[in-house]
Amino acid sequence: MGPNNFGFVVAEAMACSTPVLISDKVNIWREVSAAGAGLVQPDTLEGTTNLIRQFQALSTEDKKRMSGNARKGFLSFFDVQVTARDFAKAIGFE
């Protein structure tokens, strides 16, 4: 399993309205950050520690908001209709 495969797991979690805690080595970290769907830190021990601390420090309301953002982010970036449309544009079929 290559490093890019973790993106599938992250997208699946987002589809289930689950906030994600990931490193900046997961290729979809920009989309996660843009959607407010989770937290992103460097791929280091310090970064991982920061992710856990940041998430624990969030209020219940912030966690609920992030959960909703995760689902919305999935629909905006990874839903099959969105990805098919983007693929069609990329290869010049739209």
- In which band, very low, low, confident or very high, does the pLDDT at 1 lie, cut at 50, 70 and 90? very low
Mean predicted lDDT score pLDDT of the chain: 91
Residues 44-81: tens digit of each pLDDT: 999 999 999 999 999 999 999 999 999 999 999 998 88
Token pair 């969030």 is found at 58
Q: What confidence score (pLDDT) does residue 79 get?
A: 86
Residues 39-49: tens digit of each pLDDT: 999 999 999 99
Q: Are 66 and 58 in contact (CB under 8 A)?
A: yes
pTM, rounded to two decimals: 0.81
